[in-house]
Every structure is written in structure tokens, then in C-alpha cells.
């Protein structure tokens, strides 16, 4: 008999073992080798089993319908078996199920404050604290095999910085048209928009966006006109020999936090008043209504929708209109404060990836006749980054489990 499967595709190292278990009908407690005590409800255990009555073994998707069990699942017996797994006999089904200790430890919801963070913590910054994008040398990425350690050694710190600070710069990539697609797809699927699968940021005749001119661009997020604005933007430098045109980045969450501290009334207004965002394209007509600063249920920052050139006519209640504009102008003044701005120049072969629902980007005007400036861009979703980051961590756990199994096998052979 070996350790039981888990109800997912992950691998869970066993860093601490189960040493004792006690139970009541509807919950049990286990003690770990480091002294931690964890409690689990019987109903939680029953639906997180990994047997064929609970999940489809081919897909690892749950097939159990708890409401079809004749009565509330309760614990008749509980013990630790000779492989170190938790063994539980459930009534009224009279079904014995086993649980992997690594899975139980990783999902110890009784001690959530002790669980490691699933994703890197959000780290706010301003231009004084972070003067250049976090930079990773990605010279070997183009030639790295998908799923290889070489790829992981670049993507791991890349995604860590992107999830924490909201942006990252990859350097020494090939300065070639279309190379952005190959790099972006190592993270996830590209999201097409009315600007296409990929888009070219350079001065052209008859532009349908200010981005395709040489004029300065104010701080903004892209496509706030969408119900779900793109979560990530990638900008890849192919050519840049013009005078001017420096890139500007700002942490919208840091600005919102500063506004909450320094101008609380304006902050409250921008988190509640819905603004109309509308594009002015000849070919599309996207419109969405949203606060400029979007909060979650616990008051946490979820996204910012700041783009003056994509705001439609104000549609707030008549008696709130002036208050809304006062808050807007407070924000506009803050956006001009040098303290928030990071300024840098694109070098051919650079790719900057940033959170489009958090960071604001801008550009200084450049002299179009002084050279050539050509960036290619595309959009991804935050979900793609989170998924890819979790997969990289899963691969690390799988390697640890393999090493642990090798140690156990050597120990058993010596015995």
C-alpha cells in the first residue's frame, strides 16, 4: 500500500508527519510532528477525498454531490495508517477513505495564518523607491525549451516581480518583429482586442489612437472601456533611435493609497461615483461604467480605471457632479507630482510587462524625424500569470517529492 492520491494534479511534499488523531462525529484533530494541531470538519474531508466516488480519476474534477448522501457525513473511526496517511471511516456510507498528509498540511484551513502565501505579496512603490523596472536578463529565453529548468529560472523571478510590483522588464531578447508573441505565450494566451492580436506602437498617418502618434501620452490604463479591461500589457521594443519618448510608469495603487491618506474625501468619491468610459473609434463602440478606483469587498484595491482621453460625458447624479469633478482634478494634480513617476528608456530587445489594471503608463513626446521608434504590444490576463506562477511552484514541489521518495527508497533498501 502506498500513500493515497490527492484530489488535484499537484504534488505535496511531506515536511511534517501525522503523529496522532482524535475525533468526534463531525470533526477531527490531528497533531503534527512539529506540534501543530489542525482540525478538519467531516464534511470538508468527505468532499476532498480522492477516491472514484468523489472525483473523476481522469479529470480530477469533483463528481460527488453531498446532498445525495442520505445523511450528514460523520466520522465513525479515524487513525493514521502504516504509510502515514489519515484513514477515516465515514457514515452513513460505511466508506473508508484515506488522505495524503502533504495535502492536508497544505490545506490546513484551521491555521490559515500559518500557511505560506500562494502568491507574492503586493509591494507598492513610487518613483523615488523604484527608479527602473525590476530587470531580468532573458538572453537565453528564446532558445529555452518549454518546461525546462532554463525557462523556469527566467520565468520564476519574472512572474514574482510582476505579481508583487506590477511590472518587470526582460532584457536582451531578440529585437525582431513578432518575437513578443513567442515570449508572451510562455506565460499564457494572448487576448485579442479591437487593436488586433498584436499591435504596433509607432507614429503613422491616419492614426486611430493617440498612441500611434509622436505626441506625449498622459498617465493611463488601456481599455477601461471594457467590462473586463485587459489585466496585463506587454510592450516589446524593436527599434528606438528617436529623441525623447521616455516611458513613464506609475503605481496606481500607490497613488490611490496616497490619496486615501492625503485627500480622503476625494478618494471616497472616486471609489463610489461611476464614470462613463467610451472609446471614440470609427469601427467600435465600447462603453463601460465604473468607479475610477475599484475596491473589493474588504476594501482592498482591485483596479484603477484612469484614462482621461477615454472618459465619456459625465453621467453622475446632478447633485454629485461638481464633487466628482473636484475629486478628478485632485487626482489629476497628483498624477503630475514627480514623486510617483518612474522614467526610463526602451532599448531594442527590451520587453516590459505590467499590470494594466494597477499601473499607469505614459510617454513623453518624441521627435518623429529624429529616428525610428517601434514597439510591439499585446495583452494577457492576470489569471494567466497567476496560473503560470502556480505551475512553476507545482513543478518545484514535484521535484521535492521526487527527492523525498528517493530518500525513502534508499532508506528502505538499506533496512
Q: Do strands 167-171 and 135-137 pair parallel, antiparallel, or not at all (unpaired)?
A: parallel
Pairing status of strand 95-99 against strand 86-91: antiparallel
Over residues 362-388, the mean pLDDT reads 89
Which helix H or strand E contains 193, and what residues bound it?
Answer: none
Q: Say if CB 224 and CB 334 are below 8 A apart.
A: no
Q: Is residue 280 very low, low, confident or very high in pLDDT (cuts 50, 70, 90)?
A: confident
Answer yes or no: is pLDDT of 377 > 60.
yes
pLDDT band at 129 (very low <50, low <70, confident <90, very high): very high
For the record, the C-alpha cell of 208 comes out as 486611430
Residue 406 in this model has a pLDDT that exceeds 80? no
Segment 201-258, tens digit of pLDDT:
886 656 656 666 677 789 999 999 999 999 999 999 999 988 888 899 999 999 999 9
User: Would you say 94 and 305 are in contact if contact means Cβ atoms under 8 Å apart?
Assistant: no
Rg (CA), the chain: 26
Cell (9 digits) for 150: 532554463
Q: All domains of the chain, ordered by start, with CATH?
A: 18-116 (3.30.2020.30), 135-390 (3.60.130.10)
For the chain, the distance separating the N- and C-terminal CA atoms, rounded to the nearest angstrom, is 18
How many beta carbons lie within 10 A of that of residue 369, not counting itself?
9
DSSP state of 409: H
**pLDDT tens track for 299-358:** 999 999 999 999 999 988 999 999 999 999 999 999 999 999 999 999 999 999 999 999
Least confident of 89-93, 114-118, 271-275: 114-118
The size of the chain, in residues, is 415
CA 236 to CA 185: how far, in whole Å?
14
Write b or e for each residue in 140-157: b if 16 or more Cβ atoms lie within 10 A of its Cβ, otherwise e: ebeebeeeeeebeebbbe
Using CA atoms, how far apart are residues 316 and 320, in angstroms rounded to an integer?
A: 6
41-79, pLDDT tens digit by residue? Answer: 999 999 999 999 999 999 999 999 999 999 999 999 999
- No. of helices (H) and no. of strands (E), the chain: 8, 22
Average pLDDT over residues 77-87: 97
CA diameter of the chain:
82
Amino acid at each position: 500500500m502506498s500513500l493515497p492520491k490527492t484530489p488535484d494534479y499537484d504534488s505535496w511534499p511531506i515536511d511534517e508527519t501525522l503523529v496522532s488523531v482524535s475525533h468526534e462525529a463531525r470533526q477531527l484533530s490531528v497533531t503534527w510532528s512539529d506540534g501543530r494541531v489542525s482540525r478538519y470538519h467531516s464534511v470538508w474531508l468527505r468532499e476532498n477525498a480522492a477516491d472514484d466516488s468523489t472525483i473523476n480519476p481522469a479529470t480530477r474534477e469533483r463528481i460527488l454531490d453531498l446532498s445525495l448522501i442520505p445523511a450528514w457525513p460523520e466520522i465513525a473511526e479515524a487513525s493514521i495508517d502504516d504509510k502515514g496517511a489519515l484513514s477515516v471511516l465515514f457514515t452513513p456510507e460505511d466508506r473508508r477513505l484515506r488522505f495524503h498528509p502533504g495535502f492536508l498540511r497544505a490545506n490546513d484551513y484551521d491555521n490559515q495564518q500559518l500557511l505560506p502565501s500562494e502568491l507574492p505579496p503586493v509591494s507598492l512603490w513610487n518613483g523615488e523607491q523604484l527608479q527602473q523596472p525590476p530587470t531580468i536578463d532573458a538572453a537565453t529565453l528564446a532558445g529555452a525549451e518549454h518546461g525546462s529548468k532554463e525557462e523556469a529560472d527566467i520565468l520564476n523571478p519574472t512572474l514574482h516581480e510582476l505579481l508583487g510590483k506590477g511590472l518587470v522588464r526582460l532584457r536582451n531578447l531578440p529585437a525582431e518583429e513578432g518575437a513578443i508573441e513567442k515570449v508572451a505565450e510562455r506565460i499564457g494566451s494572448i487576448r485579442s482586442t479591437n487593436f488586433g492580436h498584436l499591435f504596433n506602437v509607432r507614429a503613422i498617418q491616419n492614426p486611430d489612437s493617440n498612441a500611434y502618434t509622436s505626441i506625449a501620452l498622459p498617465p493611463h490604463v488601456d481599455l477601461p472601456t471594457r467590462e473586463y479591461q485587459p489585466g496585463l500589457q506587454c510592450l516589446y521594443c524593436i527599434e528606438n533611435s528617436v529623441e525623447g519618448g521616455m516611458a513613464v510608469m506609475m503605481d496606481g495603487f500607490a497613488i490611490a493609497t496616497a490619496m486615501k491618506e492625503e485627500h480622503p474625501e476625494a478618494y471616497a468619491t472616486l471609489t463610489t461615483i461611476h464614470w462613463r468610459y467610451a472609446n471614440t473609434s470609427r469601427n467600435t463602440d465600447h462603453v463601460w461604467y465604473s468607479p475610477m478606483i475599484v475596491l473589493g469587498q474588504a476594501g482592498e484595491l482591485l483596479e484603477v480605471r484612469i484614462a482621461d482621453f477615454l472618459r465619456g460625458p459625465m453621467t453622475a447624479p446632478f447633485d454629485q457632479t461638481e464633487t466628482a469633478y473636484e475629486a478628478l482634478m485632485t487626482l489629476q494634480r497628483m498624477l503630475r507630482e514627480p514623486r510617483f513617476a518612474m522614467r526610463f528608456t526602451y532599448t531594442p530587445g527590451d520587453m516590459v510587462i505590467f499590470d494594466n489594471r494597477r499601473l499607469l503608463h505614459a510617454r513623453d513626446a518624441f521627435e518623429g524625424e529624429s529616428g525610428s521608434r517601434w514597439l510591439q504590444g499585446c495583452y494577457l490576463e492576470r489569471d494567466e500569470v497567476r496560473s503560470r506562477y502556480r505551475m512553476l511552484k507545482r513543478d518545484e514541489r514535484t521535484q521535492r517529492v521526487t527527492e523525498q521518495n528517493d530518500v525513502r527508497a534508499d532508506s528502505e533498501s538499506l533496512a
